[in-house]
């Protein structure tokens, strides 16, 4: 007599389902342990009532601003943050502010050509450079340059394939010949890079790869909405080399990873040397001291290195003599101090992108309701 086997398929299914559930739980536990670990970063700053009294909400906006650059004539250039994808709701995403008036830059017609500019900088040749990383599902990373006097495009380059995919910040050497770019990588999944681009022949190379100064550390960023995690709590927002600046004397490149606790520098000559390998450049990096978890970076007229403090809504200044950072300003009104620039009068301009208020758990673009819920947004100025 044959044994009854009518329930065997059901039993096999249940066993398979059990194994699948156990595997999924294991994968989630591994992801949480590997990418969701982190400890709160100690506050290295303090309140500064004097600085807060000098802070003004300079420009009021409907959508979150991203980066900012200030020309010698006082004109302020800024964009809407590409993570917000404001171009779905606004015809313009790149702007010039002058004499209290906002106009699309370089023109209304040019707005439809932009796919989402991230970093921006003004060089000594009176050109503004914009970088549009391919990391936001665009086909190629694109580099633009416009003459500020004529508002005409003077340079354009598309990186092939996925090269420079996460390039988010950039600076131009004083002679106008090279651009140094910070490629953050994606969280802790791919390594950050420092990329050098030759303006004359459109050639580029990786000058520096993963290094303790450029890679994210195991910190859990604090925001007004709690710990900054994605993937429904499984993955901490951990970002490597996000900001860079060239010293006014053209001797150094300052390196500032977002979730990295140290400000570092490397000789600009080493970065530009076409014969230097990434290992050669890495061997010349110098750790300067502790900084806040930061986004934007610039250098003021006194030589202090200014970084945004993303956890406390403000700015800190790093003194190269004392190797210490001090708080210039912090405000509870500021959700995410993002881009920062210094004006010819030494005033500091910075944006509040409000990033942690609307960034989706899977990094998708926020819906309009999420953006409207946190209106208005501001670009700030702190006179000194």
* 115 and 19 together in one domain: no
The CATH number assigned to the domain holding 276 equals 2.120.10.30
For residue 190, tell me if it sits in a domain: yes
From edge to edge, which strands make up the β-sheet containing 101-104? 65-70, 76-80, 94-98, 101-104
Can you name the residues that pair with 315 across neighbouring β-strands? 308, 329
Q: What is the pLDDT of residues 278-288, one digit of tens each?
A: 999 999 999 99
* 134 and 25 together in one domain: no
Q: For residue 377, how many C-alpha atoms fall within 13 Å in the half-sphere facing its CB?
A: 29
**Average confidence (pLDDT) over 22-31:** 41
* 348 and 300 together in one domain: yes
3-state SS, residue 8: helix
DSSP state of 16: H
Tokens of 349: 């301009």
**Average confidence (pLDDT) over 220-227:** 91
pLDDT confidence bin for 135, thresholds 50/70/90: confident
Instruction: Please tell me the least confidently modeled range out of 92-106, 191-205, 231-245, 261-275.
Output: 231-245
Q: What is the pLDDT of residues 316-330, one digit of tens each?
A: 999 999 999 999 999
* 159 and 292 together in one domain: yes
* 17 and 77 together in one domain: no
Domains of the chain: total: 2
Residues 6+ apart with CB under 8 A from 310: 221, 258, 292, 293, 294, 295, 336, 337, 338
Burial 325-346 (b: 16+ CB within 10 A, else e): bebbbbbeebbbbbbbbbbeee
For residue 132, tell me if it sits in a domain: yes
* 69 and 100 together in one domain: yes
Q: Which domain range does residue 30 map to?
A: 8-37
For residue 333, tell me if it sits in a domain: yes
Q: What is the pLDDT of residues 227-273, one digit of tens each?
A: 888 665 567 888 999 999 999 999 999 999 999 999 999 999 999 99
* Residue 235: predicted pLDDT: 78
* 180 and 211 together in one domain: yes
Burial 268-288 (b: 16+ CB within 10 A, else e): bebbbeeebebeebbeebeeb
* Residue 362: predicted pLDDT: 66
**Average confidence (pLDDT) over 28-46:** 69
For residue 2, tell me if it sits in a domain: no
Minimal CA–CA distance to 53: which of 307, 311, 382? 382
* 33 and 47 together in one domain: no
For residue 121, tell me if it sits in a domain: yes
Q: Contact at 8 Å (CB) between 110 and 130?
A: no
Element (H, E) at 26: helix 8-35
pLDDT confidence bin for 35, thresholds 50/70/90: low
Whether the pLDDT of residue 92 is over 60: the answer is yes
For residue 3, tell me if it sits in a domain: no
Cα separation of 143 and 289, whole Å? 32
Cα separation of 330 and 309, whole Å? 8
**Could you write out the three-class secondary structure of 107-155?**
CCHHHHHCCCCCCEEECCCCEEEEEECHHHCCCCCEEEEEECCCCCEEE
* 24 and 47 together in one domain: no
* 156 and 243 together in one domain: yes
For residue 1, tell me if it sits in a domain: no
Question: Considering all CA atoms of the chain, what is the largest pairwise distance in Å, rounded to the nearest integer?
Answer: 97
The phi and psi torsions of 12 (rounded to 5 degrees) equal -60, -40
Whether the pLDDT of residue 5 is over 70: the answer is no
For residue 293, tell me if it sits in a domain: yes
* Residue 190: predicted pLDDT: 78
* 227 and 126 together in one domain: yes
3-state SS, residue 176: coil
Whether the pLDDT of residue 132 is over 50: the answer is yes
**Average confidence (pLDDT) over 308-337:** 97
pLDDT confidence bin for 1, thresholds 50/70/90: very low
* Residue 128: predicted pLDDT: 98
* 139 and 271 together in one domain: yes
Q: What is the pLDDT of residues 148-183, one digit of tens each?
A: 999 999 999 999 998 999 999 999 999 999 999 999
Minimal CA–CA distance to 359: which of 169, 256, 259, 223? 223
* Residue 188: predicted pLDDT: 60
Q: What is the pLDDT of residues 340-359, one digit of tens each?
A: 999 999 999 999 999 999 98
Question: DSSP E strands: which ranges in 159-251?
Answer: 167-172, 178-183, 193-198, 204-208, 219-220, 222-223, 226-227, 229-230, 235-236, 241-246
Question: DSSP E strands: which ranges in 305-361?
Answer: 305-309, 314-319, 324-330, 337-342, 348-352
* Residue 26: predicted pLDDT: 40
């Amino acid at each position: 007599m044959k044994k009854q086997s009518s329930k065997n398929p059901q039993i096999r299914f249940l066993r398979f389902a059990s194994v699948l559930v156990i595997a999924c739980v294991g994968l989630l536990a591994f992801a949480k342990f590997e990418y969701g670990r982190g400890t709160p970063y100690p506050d290295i700053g303090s309140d500064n009532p004097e600085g807060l009294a000098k802070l003004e909400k300079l420009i009021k906006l409907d959508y979150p601003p991203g980066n900012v650059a200030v020309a010698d004539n006082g004109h302020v250039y800024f964009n809407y943050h590409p993570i917000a994808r404001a171009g779905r709701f606004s015809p313009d995403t790149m702007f010039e502010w002058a004499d209290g008036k906002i106009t699309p830059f370089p023109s209304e017609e040019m707005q439809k050509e932009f796919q989402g500019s991230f970093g921006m900088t003004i060089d000594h040749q009176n050109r503004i450079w914009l970088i549009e990383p391919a990391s936001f599902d665009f086909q190629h990373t694109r580099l633009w340059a416009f003459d500020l006097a004529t508002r005409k495009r003077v340079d354009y380059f598309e990186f092939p394939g996925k090269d420079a995919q996460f390039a988010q910040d950039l600076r131009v050497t004083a002679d106008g010949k090279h651009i140094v770019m910070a490629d953050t990588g994606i969280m802790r999944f791919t390594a950050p890079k420092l990329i050098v681009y030759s303006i004359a022949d459109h050639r580029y190379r990786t000058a520096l790869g993963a290094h303790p100064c450029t890679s994210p550390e195991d910190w859990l960023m604090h925001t007004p909405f709690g710990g900054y995690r994605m993937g429904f709590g499984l993955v901490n927002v951990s970002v490597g080399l996000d900001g860079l600046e060239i010293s006014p004397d053209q001797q150094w490149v300052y390196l500032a990873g977002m979730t990295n606790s140290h400000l570092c520098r490397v000789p600009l000559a080493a970065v530009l040397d076409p014969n230097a390998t990434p290992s050669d450049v890495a061997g010349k990096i110098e750790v300067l001291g502790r900084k806040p978890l930061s986004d934007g970076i610039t250098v003021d007229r006194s030589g202090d290195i200014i970084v945004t403090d993303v956890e406390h809504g403000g700015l800190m200044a790093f003194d190269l003599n004392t190797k210490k950072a001090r708080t210039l300003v912090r405000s509870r009104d500021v959700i995410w101090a993002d881009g920062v620039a210094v004006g010819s009068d030494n005033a500091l301009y910075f944006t509040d992108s409000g990033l942690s208020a609307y960034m989706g758990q899977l990094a998708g673009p926020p819906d309009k309701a999420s953006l409207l819920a946190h209106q208005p947004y501001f670009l700030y100025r702190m006179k000194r």
